Structure 1
Amino acid sequence: MYQVQNPATGELLRSYDQATDEQVAAALDSVAGAAPVWADTPIAERAAVLSKTADRFREQREELASIITVEMGKLRDEALFEVDLSADIFQYYADNAASLLADEEVAGRGPAAVITKRPLGALLGIMPWNYPYYQIARFAAPNLLLGNTILLKPAPGCPDSAHALQDALVAAGIPSGAYETIFASNDQIATVIADPRIHGISLTGSERAGEAVGSLAGAALKKHVLELGGSDAFIVLDSMDGGGPSLDEVIEQAVLGRMENTGQACDSPKRFIVAAEAYDRFVDGVTEYFAGLKAGDPAHPDTTLAPLSSKQAVTGLLAQIEDAVNKGAKLRTGGKAIEGEGSYLEATVLTDVQPGMRAYSEELFGPVAVIYKVESDDEAVSLANSSPYGLGSAVFASDEARALAVANRLEVGMVGVNVPADTAPDLPFGGVKRSGVGRELGTLGVEEFVNKKLVRTPAN
């Protein structure tokens, strides 16, 4: 069901009909038919569409932010930040179009052997609910620049933001058929993946969704990018008294990172691995911050604890928390649903989590922090790498060289050294292990769904 249900109140605001098979077929015909036209559109014109889309986002930032605050409960300031970041992504690819798509001469052969970057054709994007604009922007912007066309399936809970993004592209002048949104079912998407006119699939979502889409794409011999879950490690190697940020600053970065989007981010820090000498101060600092968060209307400036996406999300997290506590984990604060119609959960801190508890190996997609004590750098690395995920991480130490040495041993796709993990238009995003395959954003964002065509001419 594609619908807007405010997670802060539980109120069902709007419902949309699922696309018929005929509507899905028509949308597929449209993006496939537009593919050669868009591919032959000059790069400068494609870049201009992206730039105008960025302008549209900036002009309508208040309205666009309100849409996602209602759809999925995002705090107002965070919603505005997401709108601005999405605009910056479209602008980055517009501004760097010439360099990103430039031909590359094969070393030693000069102009006699050149690698050109050409589009593959029509692509399918399957997007999640937690960052309704940003997730689409980081897939759509580089691929539209490249000349691919896009068939986009949004999350069922975010139809209004999906419409708003397509409206922005249309207002910016994108040709008919180059970008189409469909409210499709899983079965209909399976049919789309199998269609030979679709040349690539990008999914951001759960492991289960990634396994299903990856299997279908592989069977159809389609290139695919999967951005899946994460259980990022945030490692503190000492008391931070000898240099770099102070421990108080590190704690602030930890709690802000964990609570972004109410903890509903694949790349937010979820496991805090802290040296024994800093452990007690770190636990006390995080616990105090979490206990002081104030639940309320996410549109109100005084609210610091937003709702989760749904009652089901609250129920799932409570089950993970209760499993840990029943098996011996220590609950420092939180651990309960907040009564009312909204989908609220108290911000929660767990310590003494051990193997065999769900919280040890599963992703906790919400306002829950798990803090571990370690006695050495080797123990920190071993614990961090014990996760089935490998998205991002951050390492802090008074000695930056020490932090870098640990960072280089971590099995992840992204790592910050004395800085928190972050995202930006020019920074590649992606992970390893069960966090997915492929990269988005930065220069790598145009490298996934591209035909790197070798063109040879007679040598002089």
Structure 2
Amino acid sequence: MARETAQTAGGSVTETSVVEGVDKELFIGGKWVAATGGRTFPVTDPATGQVLCEVADASPADGMAALDAAAAVQASWAATAPRERSEILRRAYELLNARTEELALLMTLEMGKPLPEARGEIAYAAEFFRWFSEEAVRIDGGYQVAPNGQGRFLVTRQPVGVTLLITPWNFPMAMGGRKIGPAIAAGCTMVIKPAEQTPLSMLALAAILAEAGLPAGVLNVVTTTDPGGVMEPLIRDGRARKLSFTGSTAVGRRLLEQCADKVLRTSMELGGNAPFLVFDDADLDAAVEGAMLAKMRNIGEACTAANRFYVQRGVAGEFARRLTERMAALPMGRGTEPGVVVGPLIDAGAVAKVSALVQDAANRGAKVLTGGSTVDGPGHFYRATVLTDVPRDARMATEEIFGPVAPITVFDTEDEAVEAANDTEFGLVSYVFTNDLKRALRVSERLESGMVGLNQGIVSNPAAPFGGVKQSGLGREGGSVGIDEFLEIKYIAVAL
């Protein structure tokens, strides 16, 4: 983002200034270039439906040019000193924090989340750069005497090579940071394709990384309305050696099939269907607060969002009452307005899906305690909603809601709760609220998910491994293992 246009003469951040301050072309080989034929596509504000700007619409040829640029500098970038890579990441961390206000406003305009959440995402994204700046200088190996004493084993870890990164629209800065950070630290070059709904945050991040000293060609950004046409040739080309994708399970499956052709390394952070378990002995104040965090983060448009609430019968009524009271009081509106908590969903299709899931549950006997309807006027809004008596055959029991809807189902026994929680093809995160230590450990171990929030409603942390099991994905991002996804182990046999 160009600093001279990010603020007005008086020093205040404005909507016009942050949009105008972003380069809107493709970022290839360290240069901003137009798409083939000068093609562009609009970026709209989901709160108003108004077009914010036009950005370059890459063709397959543009995608191949980005791959050429990444491949051309892979060897030299891999040979760069770890401390140099670390310092670039550290500078990026500092720049992100220094420009929180304009970056947060930019994200709110293109994605819709309220400004306080957008600020939190900028801080979260920056932390990935700080964390991996520290990991870059700690890539280790091993030295071992052969069992027969006749030789030595050397073990090194080297960059995977050129990587392809695909990020979603719901966390447009954080998901980029979570992938770009370890790739830079490991010594990998990249071609990244952000979601077409929210390309501006990634374009701004690319400019910041260039300013931080990232060499030309290490990071290449292609924005496009033809993700399959642009990315599949890169996957099948053979020069890229890894794909990291965050998005739906359906798309992830197709990408895995394409990666099989060249046997690419893959990291897949896919769909979720998070259960939220509340036992009779739970601290209800903490459980309701955790429910609000787990459900309403990002307006419910998060793979980690609580999707199914299972509450033990003894506290079900009181939990539903308190949750309904909190949800009904949430201010709704454009994310730039003070105090707003419920912003717009990303597009009309998202609203239609949430509406259909709520209607399906109601048709099967669920009761709507609050919300349950769209909002007239411009923008893609759906009211914060609480449902009770949601049957397990309702569609929302198996499908991601991706919206501000909390469906509650009552259970009686621990076994019943665990069985219901695990009755899904997904396994990203689960939430458990109980004050019984034995139950807490017992249930956490039995839940089929890659992460568990125990008496807390947020699990994401750059210093912890993020990822799921079953059809929620492959591999882990973040934590001390996050960089492993971008490194290959090499064994060197030494004869003495």
**TM > 0.5:** yes
Q: Does 1:202 align with 2:241?
A: no
Aligned to 1:266, the other structure's residue is in SS state coil
Q: Does 1:163 align with 2:196?
A: no
Aligned to 1:408, the other structure's residue is in SS state helix
- Residue 274 of structure 2 corresponds to 232
Cα offset, 1:353, TM superposition: 1.9
For 1:389, which of 423, 426, 432 is the aligned residue?
Answer: 426
- Residue 255 of structure 2 corresponds to 213
Instruction: Provide the rounded CA distance (Å) in 1 between the counterparts of 2:288 and 2:154.
Output: 50
Cα offset, 1:2, TM superposition: 4.3
Q: Does 1:119 align with 2:156?
A: no
Instruction: Provide the rounded CA distance (Å) in 2 between the counterparts of 1:105 and 1:60.
Output: 44
Cα RMSD over matched residues?
1.6
Residues 56-205 of structure 1 correspond to what in structure 2 (within 5 A)? 56-99=95-138, 101-106=139-144, 112-184=152-224, 185=226, 186-205=228-247
- Residue 11 of structure 1 corresponds to 50
Bigger drift between 392-401 and 427-436 goes to 392-401
Instruction: Provide the rounded CA distance (Å) in 2 between the counterparts of 1:105 and 1:337.
Output: 62
Aligned to 2:242, the other structure's residue is in SS state strand
Instruction: Provide the rounded CA distance (Å) in 1 between the counterparts of 2:453 and 2:333.
Output: 32
Question: Are the aligned partners of 1:2 and 1:157 in contact in 2 as well (CA < 8 Å)?
Answer: no
Instruction: Provide the rounded CA distance (Å) in 2 between the counterparts of 1:247 and 1:182.
Output: 47
Decide whether aligned partners of structure 1 residues 427 and 43 sit closer, same or farther in structure 2, where only a CA change above 3 A counts. Answer: same
Cα offset, 1:418, TM superposition: 2.4
Over the matched positions of the two proteins, sequence identity in percent amounts to 37
Instruction: Provide the rounded CA distance (Å) in 2 between the counterparts of 1:199 and 1:391.
Output: 25
Cα offset, 1:252, TM superposition: 1.1
Instruction: Provide the rounded CA distance (Å) in 2 between the counterparts of 1:67 and 1:132.
Output: 11
Q: TM-score, normalised to structure 1's length? A: 0.95
Long gaps (5+) in structure 2: 1-39
Q: Deviations over 1:283-336 (max 9, x none)?
A: 111111111111112112221211111121101110111111112122121110
Residues 257-276 of structure 1 correspond to what in structure 2 (within 5 A)? 257-276=294-313
Instruction: Provide the rounded CA distance (Å) in 2 between the counterparts of 1:159 and 1:419.
Output: 32
Q: TM-score, normalised to structure 2's length? A: 0.88
Aligned to 1:234, the other structure's residue is in SS state strand
Instruction: Provide the rounded CA distance (Å) in 2 between the counterparts of 1:97 and 1:120.
Output: 14
Question: Are the aligned partners of 1:395 and 1:407 in contact in 2 as well (CA < 8 Å)?
Answer: yes
Question: Are the aligned partners of 2:428 and 2:472 in contact in 1 as well (CA < 8 Å)?
Answer: yes
- Residue 455 of structure 1 corresponds to 492
Q: Does 1:46 align with 2:88?
A: no
- Residue 251 of structure 1 corresponds to 288
Q: Which amino acid aligns with 2:141?
A: D
Q: Which amino acid aligns with 2:493?
A: R
Question: Are the aligned partners of 1:43 and 1:98 in contact in 2 as well (CA < 8 Å)?
Answer: yes
Aligned to 2:358, the other structure's residue is in SS state helix
Instruction: Provide the rounded CA distance (Å) in 2 between the counterparts of 1:350 and 1:389.
Output: 22
Q: Deviations over 1:110-139 (max 9, x none)?
A: 993232110111110011000001001111
Bigger drift between 272-281 and 450-459 goes to 450-459
Instruction: Provide the rounded CA distance (Å) in 2 between the counterparts of 1:449 and 1:147.
Output: 8
Long gaps (5+) in structure 1: 241-245
Question: Are the aligned partners of 1:64 and 1:161 in contact in 2 as well (CA < 8 Å)?
Answer: yes
Aligned to 2:447, the other structure's residue is in SS state coil
Instruction: Provide the rounded CA distance (Å) in 1 between the counterparts of 2:483 and 2:43.
Output: 32
Decide whether aligned partners of structure 1 residues 106 and 293 sit closer, same or farther in structure 2, where only a CA change above 3 A counts. Answer: farther
Instruction: Provide the rounded CA distance (Å) in 2 between the counterparts of 1:130 and 1:427.
Output: 20
Instruction: Provide the rounded CA distance (Å) in 2 between the counterparts of 1:307 and 1:73.
Output: 6
Instruction: Provide the rounded CA distance (Å) in 1 between the counterparts of 2:456 and 2:56.
Output: 45
Instruction: Provide the rounded CA distance (Å) in 1 between the counterparts of 2:169 and 2:92.
Output: 21
Cα offset, 1:41, TM superposition: 0.4
Residues 26-45 of structure 1 correspond to what in structure 2 (within 5 A)? 26-45=65-84
Q: Which amino acid aligns with 1:217?
A: C
Cα offset, 1:22, TM superposition: 2.9
Question: Are the aligned partners of 1:50 and 1:90 in contact in 2 as well (CA < 8 Å)?
Answer: yes
Instruction: Provide the rounded CA distance (Å) in 1 between the counterparts of 2:289 and 2:454.
Output: 16
Residues 425-440 of structure 1 correspond to what in structure 2 (within 5 A)? 425-440=462-477
Question: Are the aligned partners of 1:395 and 1:404 in contact in 2 as well (CA < 8 Å)?
Answer: no
- Residue 424 of structure 1 corresponds to 461
Aligned to 1:434, the other structure's residue is in SS state helix
Q: Which amino acid aligns with 2:480?
A: T
Aligned to 2:157, the other structure's residue is in SS state strand
| Corresponding residue pairs, total | 453
Bigger drift between 447-456 and 364-373 goes to 447-456
